Amino acid sequence: MLTAFRNIFKITELRNKVFITLGLIAVFRLGAHLPTPGVDGAALAELINKLEAGQGGSIFSMVSLFSGGALRKCTVFALGIMPYISASIIIQLLQVVIPKLEKIAKEGEAGRKKINQYTRYSTVFLSGIQAFFISIALEHPERIARVFQGIVIVPHPGMLFRITAVITLATGTLILMWLGEQISEKGIGNGISLIITAGIISRFPSAVKIAWQLFAPGNAQGKSPLNLIILFLLMVVVVVGIILVTQAQRKIPIQRAQQIRGRRVYQAQNTYMPLRVNYAGVIPVIFASSLLIFPATIGSMIPDDSFFSFLKVLSSWLAPGQILYNCAYVLLIIFFCYFWTATQFNPIQIADDMKRGGAFVPGIRPGKNTAEYFEKIMVRITLAGAVFLATIAIFPTMVSSRMKIPYIVTQFLGGTGLLIMVGVMLDTMRQVESHLIMRHYDGFMSKTRLKGRF
């Protein structure tokens, strides 16, 4: 593996892509420390620390996880990339129910550009709404929790501060969106996913610090060392399980009949078509998290005496660790697994391409029967992948409530953060390895490539 990392810097194109990616991620981390004008970052960090101290986590823990800790001091990138992801979900769903949007999406490169433009407009709208509610919540922290009565986060509240906060936070989200697009275009890996991953990794030192305080010898409230061993073993098992399922494939045998084209004779071949068990990757987890974060964040900032106070009660039910949150989270992950697979995997087109190329599945008639066979297989293996993703996603909240450990620690034992980190790292390594193999270099693993093991 060390040889593979050295080979990366021998390829000029790949080396430039890696440096561009690292540079843009560094810009993201720099922006995560630029404060929003008019906000007392120390007071806000103290408030969120108290909110995150309880077991089971909170909605602020989840938002802070995706923003890389930028929410703790309300920096320029406090909203993170979640408004863009929420906008992407909305546009994807609208393509299913609005024929005109579906037609635009099928117009090739021009249609893709239009869809991206609509997504950007939606991102501006959503980030503006979230930024406005956050500015109100910062002016009145007692609306988040009554115990914070008297804490002053915004020394000079008013309309001027709200306008400044909305412009600053919305602009920060747009910058992150642009950084993600530049990484995808000029760097290596998926830009949006890498930005989310970098934010999650930046939270790891804080989790280690809290874990050390819990398990430190001589701490009156410290946990048993046995709990630390259990946590470590759980993390190893979960990481191994995520890698295995992410790389797992169902291999469908494919045969190609002998063909004569002009003066060339193509011999019959036996091969296979790999169908990934987790075809959607970490997309369902990101989509489900962003959908649950948006209403819960807004609802938690509504005052108790407001006409919309019932939304505040609903947001408390949708807080991480609650039964309704876990149920909604599981159902949304399963839904988006099937939704994303349905939009990206077209069995009819694959069956037609095989038929034109003289390929067929042994024992299955070409054409419609082959398409139905592929669809049946994908429905089954997608269910297995979706159930696994949902189980790992709610695993941290279960461990947190069971072992009485803060959510900021258990979120690295599974759940959204670990799923995204492992999935994105595997995808990035796969792209790097493909560049190495094209230049006749060994990949990260000399004997087995980064592919499915099943």
pLDDT score, position 167: 92
Pairs from 386-391 (Cβ < 8 Å, separation ≥ 24): 386/284, 386/333, 386/334, 386/337, 386/338, 387/334, 388/241, 388/245, 388/278, 389/278, 389/284, 389/285, 389/333, 389/337, 389/419, 390/329, 390/330, 390/333, 390/334
CA-wise closest residue to 373 among 279, 246, 275: 275
How far the first Cα of the chain sits from its last, in Å, is 23
Q: Has residue 179 got a pLDDT over 80?
A: yes
Over residues 45-64, the mean pLDDT reads 59
**CA separation for the pair 449, 387 (Å, rounded):** 27
Which range is least confidently modeled, 5-14, 50-59, 201-210, 413-422?
50-59
What is the architecture of the domain spanning 2-438?
Answer: Orthogonal Bundle (1.10)
pLDDT score, position 150: 63
Q: Has residue 17 got a pLDDT over 70?
A: yes
Which token pair is 231?
């946590």
Q: What HEC string does the chain produce? A: CHHHHHHHCCCHHHHHHHHHHHHHHHHHHHHCCCECCCCCHHHHHHHHHHHHCCECCCHHHHHHHHCCCHHHHCECCCCCCHHHHHHHHHHHHHHHHCHHHHHHHCCCHHHHHHHHHHHHHHHHHHHHHHHHHHHHHHHCHHHCCHHHCCCCCCCCCCHHHHHHHHHHHHHHHHHHHHHHHHHHHHCCCCHHHHHHHHHHHCCHHHHHHHHHHHHCCCCCCCCCHHHHHHHHHHHHHHHHHHHHHHHCEEEEEEEECCEEECCEEECCEEEEEEEECCCCCCHHHHHHHHHHHHHHHHHHCCCCCCCCHHHHHHHHHCCCCCHHHHHHHHHHHHHHHHHHHHHHCCHHHHHHHHHHCCEECCCCCCCHHHHHHHHHHHHHHHHHHHHHHHHHHHHHHHHHHHHCCEHHHHCCCCHHHHHHHHHHHHHHHHHHHHHHHHCCCCCCCCCCCCCCCC
pTM above 0.85, yes or no: no
Q: How do the domains of the chain map onto residue ranges?
A: 2-438
Q: Tokens 């505040």 appear where?
A: 312
Q: Has residue 452 got a pLDDT over 50?
A: no
Over residues 109-118, the mean pLDDT reads 87
For the segment 361-395, what is each residue's pLDDT rounded down to a tens digit?
A: 888 888 888 889 999 999 999 999 899 888 888 88
pLDDT: which is higher, 447 or 108: 108
Cross-strand pairs, 264: 261
CB 228 within 8 A of CB 238: no
pLDDT: which is higher, 203 or 447: 203
Measured over the CA atoms of residue 243, residue 246, residue 248 and residue 251, the dihedral's sign is negative
Q: Has residue 61 got a pLDDT over 80?
A: no
Angle at 302 between CA 298 and CA 303, to 5 degrees: 165
pLDDT score, position 4: 65
To the nearest whole number, what is the mean pLDDT of the chain? 78
Report residue 320's pLDDT band, with 50, 70 and 90 as the boundaries: low
CB 278 within 8 A of CB 389: yes
* % of the chain residues with pLDDT over 90: 8
Length of the chain: 454
**CA separation for the pair 262, 138 (Å, rounded):** 74
For the segment 158-173, what is each residue's pLDDT rounded down to a tens digit?
A: 888 889 989 998 999 9
Over residues 182-197, the mean pLDDT reads 86
Q: Has residue 454 got a pLDDT over 50?
A: no
**CA separation for the pair 274, 381 (Å, rounded):** 12
**CA separation for the pair 55, 60 (Å, rounded):** 13
Report residue 137's pLDDT band, with 50, 70 and 90 as the boundaries: confident
Which token pair is 142?
């007692």
